[in-house]
Structure 1
Amino acid sequence: MPTTAATAVPEVATHGSNLGSASIDLTASAHSVAHAATVALIVTVVAVFYLLTCAVWPFGKCRRCKGVGKFKSPFGNAFRHCGRCDGSGLRVRFGRKVISYYRRTHSAASNSTSKGDK
């Protein structure tokens, strides 16, 4: 009972020439490059959206007092102001700090070069 026909197909598919395996490797690497490009695009879109959100709404709730701005005394009705936000209940978001840093750096660079041209 020869079974060469049944085993010949898997042998050709699995033990083919180097050209066949090279084309599989190129396909795999092209797939990984496309996957990395997609991930990079998604990360860029999310970062731009976050920075736009921080430009429109630069403040968030203070994390210590949860946006209330004060703490209640455990006994009685006395309050004290939050030391982190000075009683405002707000904090500057990280993205807004990045935007402000970029504006400050860009403004300083443009001012220093315009003064040097005179």
Structure 2
Amino acid sequence: MSIHPATAISTAATHGSDLAATAQTAGQVATVALIVTIAVSLYLLGCLIWPFGKCRRCKGVGKFKSPFGRAYRHCGKCDGSGLRVRLGRHVINHIRAVHGAGDNSTSKGKR
């Protein structure tokens, strides 16, 4: 008969540690979410300041040499500029377009 009280205490102690583990896990999830949010915000800020990156096909040169090295041709991907629009800038441009489309609605509401 002494087995039941020991089991009850053991179960209560285990339940309490599960609650502490859950609280610790929730804190870790919140910390990771905060770090990811800060990283994405800094990336988007960088895309606002520097919207272009080097073209991946021509590595930012904008042209290719011929096999014999005498002639050049423009990169077809970047049209010879050597630049490409970064992914974050595409996201920013899309958000601006959606926001602008909301301002141009045909409803006659007050502004």
TM-score by length of 2: 0.87
Q: What are the superposed Cα offsets for residues 79-98 of structure 1, whole Å, 9 maximum, x if unpaired? A: 00000000000000000000
Counterparts of 1:75 and 1:59 in 2: how far apart (Å)?
Answer: 31
Identity percentage of aligned residues: 60
Q: What are the superposed Cα offsets for residues 92-111 of structure 1, whole Å, 9 maximum, x if unpaired? A: 00000000000010011012
Partner AA of 2:109 in structure 1 = D
5+ residue gaps, structure 1: 1-11
| Equivalent of 1:36 in 20, 29, 34 | 29
Q: Does 1:23 align with 2:16?
A: yes
| Equivalent of 1:109 in 88, 102, 111 | 102
Give the 5 Å matches for 1:1-118: 16-112=9-105, 116-117=108-109
> 1:16 Cα shift?
4.4
Name the SS of the counterpart of 2:64 in structure 1.
strand
Cα-Cα RMSD: 1.9
Counterparts of 1:76 and 1:56 in 2: how far apart (Å)?
Answer: 37
Q: What are the superposed Cα offsets for residues 15-52 of structure 1, whole Å, 9 maximum, x if unpaired? A: 94221111110011111100100000000000000000
Greater C-alpha Rg: 1
Q: Which has the higher helix share?
A: 1
Q: What are the superposed Cα offsets for residues 39-86 of structure 1, whole Å, 9 maximum, x if unpaired? A: 000000000000000000000000000000000111131000000000
Q: How many residues align?
A: 105
Name the SS of the counterpart of 1:17 in structure 2.
helix
Answer with 17-26 or 37-46: which moved more.
Answer: 17-26
5+ residue gaps, structure 2: 1-5
